Amino acid sequence: MYISVSDRNGGKKDAQPASNDPKLPQQAFRLSPVILWLGIVSMFTDISSESVSAVLPLYITGFLGLSAIAFGILDGINQGASAIVRIAAGWAADRSGHPKRIALAGYGLSMAARVGFLFAGGFWALTAIVTGDRIGKGIRTAPRDALITVSAQPEYLARHFGVHRMLDNIGAATGPLLAFFILMLIPNGYGTLFVVSLAFAVIGVATLALLVPNLKTGKPAGSAPEPRRSPSFVFRWSLLREPGLGRLLVASGLLGLLTVGDGFIYLVLQDRDSFAVQWFPLLYVGTNVVFLILAIPLGRLADRWGKAKVFVAGHIALLLCYVLAAAPLGGLGPTLGCLVLLGAFYAATDGVLAALASQLTPPEKLATGIGAAQTVVALSRMAASAGFGVLWFSLGPSTAMMVVGGCLAVALPASLLILRAGVRQRQSA
């Protein structure tokens, strides 16, 4: 019943009957080349950005000393800016009707920031570069996800997102390994790393510019019989009252507030397991590997079983991860179990959220809707991390984790109800 609610058709694909009725025979899954290219763009871009992020702390403490703590503060501000820029970029993409241009601007800005690393000479320069990179990331996400949506077969939307997220995470898992490989060969080889990172960023941007068609959004071919208001050229908060989308924002915001950063989970694991201390960078890579393995299967599941259900079920994996982290267990098993659950959580929620948001948004506001959902999730998770930091120190790691887990257990059925009502609303709209 959650399958393909709205009328997503690819810009250049044949009009197909709106498959509102899941009992109709479905077309076979055909991977759109656009999504493959977007995935490869993301893969190269992630190799580029994650290779630098992985060694940035080493680099900064190497020549900036303790003012690195100030960098941490600025980094928090950057994350906020990046979250807010997403919704603005989504709106710009909808307004222009050409999300590729906006996505290209975002990827281009991040690439330009990598050029800056070659010449960075101090704290402020470095801060400006990192800010540029983060804002670029904020700009590109929503328009890119809009491109994925209009290129995908509607009944296989989540699976297409799964394909993209898998490629994306191959990059995210490769980047840190590449960086440490370069530093293993050349211990002070940061210059080399920045050059290699720039090379991958250039390939990513070139792939996007040359191979991804400039698809239009907003006016789907094979026009759907949906009553539509005149296209809005100003951002309207009323978007958030779109049938369905508002509820998605509420539900994902609620769950986001109970999603403590993985950093904290890694810390809990490090607290009791020396393996986690010694192989700390592997925790991040391990989570990404699980994410990339499960991205497509969980996307398929979301298409078949319901995106809202899979989105909520992903949070059950997160809840189990909290329990496993808080339980008085030690050793390798629980640590690996946590990584698998965390990877499953991301695989079940990241691409599925974008798919769900695009399903619940009218076509002319597609990128804004996706951007709004991602902004809400990013901001609520930031708030969650800040709040959890306080809980951590007042209650201790395990108790704090159990408290958040308890709240999450209560929020899960509530958010499922909210989401189901939202999807129904949208269907009848």
Binding mask 365-404 for another protein (x = CB under 8 A): --------------------x---xx-xxx----------
Q: Which of residues 206-245 bind another protein (CB under 8 A)?
A: 206-207, 210-211, 213
**Strand, coil or helix: 285:** helix
Nearest to another protein of 37, 91 (CB atom): 37
Cα-Cα-Cα-Cα torsion 104, 105, 111, 116, nearest 10 degrees, comes to 170
Minimum CB distance to another protein, residue 309 (Å): 24
The size of the interface with another protein (CB under 8 A), counted in residues, is 68
Rule CB under 8 A: say whether 80 interacts with another protein.
no
Rule CB under 8 A: say whether 116 interacts with another protein.
no
Minimum CB distance to another protein, residue 115 (Å): 12
Rule CB under 8 A: say whether 180 interacts with another protein.
yes
Hey, what amino acid is at 44?
Answer: F
Q: Pick the closest to residue 260 from 388, 350, 349 (CA basis).
A: 388
What is d(CA 389, CA 119) in angstroms, rounded to the nearest whole number? 36
Hey, what amino acid is at 228?
Answer: R
1, 356, 369 from 4: Cα distances, Å: 8, 10, 16
Ramachandran class of 396: left when φ > 0, alpha when ψ lies in -120 to 50, beta otherwise: left
Minimum CB distance to another protein, residue 82 (Å): 10
Nearest to another protein of 127, 232 (CB atom): 127
Minimum CB distance to another protein, residue 236 (Å): 30
Rule CB under 8 A: say whether 417 interacts with another protein.
no
Name which position in 19, 42, 51, 53 contacts another protein (CB under 8 A): 53
Beta strands per DSSP E along 205-267 = none
What is d(CA 311, CA 314) in angstroms, rounded to the nearest whole number? 5
Name which position in 13, 16, 116, 123 contacts another protein (CB under 8 A): 123
Q: Which of residues 243-302 bind another protein (CB under 8 A)?
A: 261-264, 266-267, 270, 274, 277-282, 284-285
b/e sequence 36-71, b meaning 16+ C-beta within 10 Å? bbbbbbbbbbbbbbbbbbbbbeebbeeeeeeeeeeb
Q: In this chain, which stretch among 157-165, 180-188, 232-240, 411-419 interacts with another protein, using CB under 8 A?
A: 180-188
Name which position in 17, 21, 24, 57 contacts another protein (CB under 8 A): 57
Tokens of 403: 């408290």
255: number of Cβ within 10 Å? 26
Nearest to another protein of 70, 327 (CB atom): 70
**Strand, coil or helix: 360:** coil
Cα-Cα-Cα-Cα torsion 56, 59, 62, 68, nearest 10 degrees, comes to -30
Nearest to another protein of 179, 301 (CB atom): 179
List of residues contacting another protein (CB under 8 A)? 53, 56-58, 61-63, 65-76, 79, 123-124, 177, 180-189, 191-192, 195-196, 198-199, 202-203, 206-207, 210-211, 213, 261-264, 266-267, 270, 274, 277-282, 284-285, 385, 389-390, 392-394
